[in-house]
Amino acid sequence: MTFPLRAAMVPVTRQMRAYFAPVNRATEEPTVFDPGLSGTFPLDAPPAPWVDLGWIENFERWYDTPTDVVRSGARTLPAGQFRGPMEARVEFNFRQWGKLQMALAGGSEHMNVLAPAAGSTTPVPSGGTPAPGVAVLPGSTATELFFGAGVATGFSPGCLLAVDSDYQQQTGYVGSGIAAAYVSSATAVKQDPNYVRRVTFNVGRVAEVTTASVLLAQPLLGGAPPAGASAQMVVAFVDREGGSFFQEWSALFVAEEETGGRVCFYYPRLSPNPGVVAANSSGRFVREDFSAIEMPLTAISLRASFLALPHSDTNDGQTVLCYRSYFPAGMAAAY
C-alpha cells in the first residue's frame, strides 16, 4: 500500500541539463516535447530529435506577462482581470563549447571556418577561400560518408567535416535539415558555392577512415547528406556580434532529479536575445563572465539568452510561451 508523502513533494536538483531541437523555419513548427510520450527519458539519451547540449549553469527564467484589472461601478471595484502583453526569457551559461552551443549563444549565422585552399592568402575573419569540396557519394548516411576508394583516405581520424550541398544561387533559408542562415540575395554571399557549408549544422568529426568512406563520431544533425552534397574540412568555428539572421530552436531544460520528482521546462520556440535584464548599470551592454576554477584558472563559458516566441497549443488553441511539467516522485502526495 502506498502512502502519500509530503517530503517527496520537494524537488531537489543539482544541475540543469539543456536539450535543443530545430524549429522548421518555413512553417515555424517547433519540435514538440510531449511529457506523456517522452518525459521520463534517461538524461544521457534524449528522444530524437533532441540534441543533448550538456549541463548548464546559472539557469534563470524570466517572465513578464502583466495582468490588468477590469473595474466597474461607482467605486471602480475590481470586476475581473485579463492578461496583457506576454513575454518570457531564459538565460544560462553553456559550460561546453560546440557548434550548436556557439550558434545558440551567438544567435546569428554561425560560421564553419573551412580549411583554406592551398596558396590562399586573402584574409577573411570568418574564413577565406577554402579548399574545394569533396563529393559525397549516394548511400551515405548521417554517420557514414562514402567518397570512393582512394578518396576517403584523404581524410584522417580526428578531422572535422562540414557536409552539405553547394550553394546554388537560391534565396531563403539554407542548410539541409536545419536552417543555418537566410540568404536574401545571391550577391550578398558572392555566389559562393561553399556558402552553405560555411554555415551548415551538418558538422561531424571523423572517427575512422575506411578504404571508401569515413565514419563519424556523432551523426550529422541534419540527417543524411542531400544528393550532390560535398564535404570540406573545418578548422574552427566563428560566431559574430552582428548579423541579420536569428537562430530559432525548440528547447527543453530538465532539472536533474535528486529526490525522484522531475521538473522540465519546455520552450517551443526560443530566439536568441540578450535582453535587458542582465545589462550593466548603463542598461546598454551585457558583460560576459569567466567562471573561476582556481585563480588564475578560469573556465570560459558561453552566455546564452533567449526570448520565447509564441506557440499555439493544439489542445485548446491557447497561445503560450513555455511549458513547465512535473513528474512527481513515486510516493509523493498529489497535493
Partner 1 sequence: MQFAKDSFFLALQERLAGLNPARTITINGATVPAIVVVENLPPSFAEPQANAFYVEWGAASVAGGHAGNGALMSLECTISYYSFGTVASMVDRGRVLGQLDAELQEICQPANTEKRDYTQAPSADLGTKVFWSQPDFLEKSKSSVENQTDKQSDGRAEHQARLKIFFFSEVTLS
CB 291 within 8 A of CB 57: yes
CB of 7 to partner 1, least distance (A): 3
Binder among 115, 169, 332, 334 for partner 1 (CB under 8 A): 332
Per CB under 8 A, contacts with partner 1 among 3-22 are: 3, 5-10, 12, 14
Dihedral sign of CA atoms 168, 169, 170, 176 in order: positive
Rounded to an integer, what distance in angstroms lies between the CA atom of residue 212 and that of residue 296?
A: 47
Contacts of 227 by beta carbon, 8 Å cutoff, 6+ apart: 138
Shortest gap between Cβ of 35 and partner 1 (angstroms)? 21
Rounded to a whole number of angstroms, the minimum distance from the CB of residue 255 to partner 1 is: 13
Between 11 and 46, CB nearer to partner 1? 11
The residue (of 2 and 282) whose beta carbon lies closer to partner 1 is 2
Tell me the site size for partner 1, rule CB under 8 A. 17
* Three-state SS at 105: helix
CB of 259 to partner 1, least distance (A): 5
Least separation in angstroms between residue 94's CB and partner 1 is 21
- The nearer residue to partner 1, 234 or 332, going by C-beta atoms, is 332
Q: Which of 325, 322, 269 lies closest to 65 in space, CA to CA? A: 322
In terms of C-beta density within 10 A (0-12 exposed, 13-18 middle, 19 or more buried), how is residue 150 classed? exposed
2 vs 122, beta carbon nearer partner 1: 2
Contact 97, 297 (CB under 8 A): no
Is 299 an interacting residue with respect to partner 1 (CB under 8 A)? no
The contact pattern for partner 1, residues 302-331, with x = CB under 8 A and - = no contact, is: ---------------------------xxx
Residue 4 vs 154, nearer CB to partner 1: 4
In angstroms, the CA 130 to CA 333 distance is 61
227-286: contacts with partner 1 (CB under 8 A): 258-260
Shortest reach from residue 254's CB to partner 1, in Å:
14
* Residue 4 or 84 having the CB closest to partner 1: 4
Give the Cα separation of 9 and 3 in Å (integer).
13
- The residue (of 1 and 118) whose beta carbon lies closer to partner 1 is 1
Amino acid at 253: F
Nearest-approach distance from CB 44 to partner 1, in angstroms: 11
Rounded-to-10 torsion of CA 195, 186, 30, 223: -40
DSSP line for 235-259: EEEE--S--S----EEEEEEEEESS
Q: Which residues bind partner 1 (CB under 8 A)?
A: 2-3, 5-10, 12, 14, 258-260, 329-332
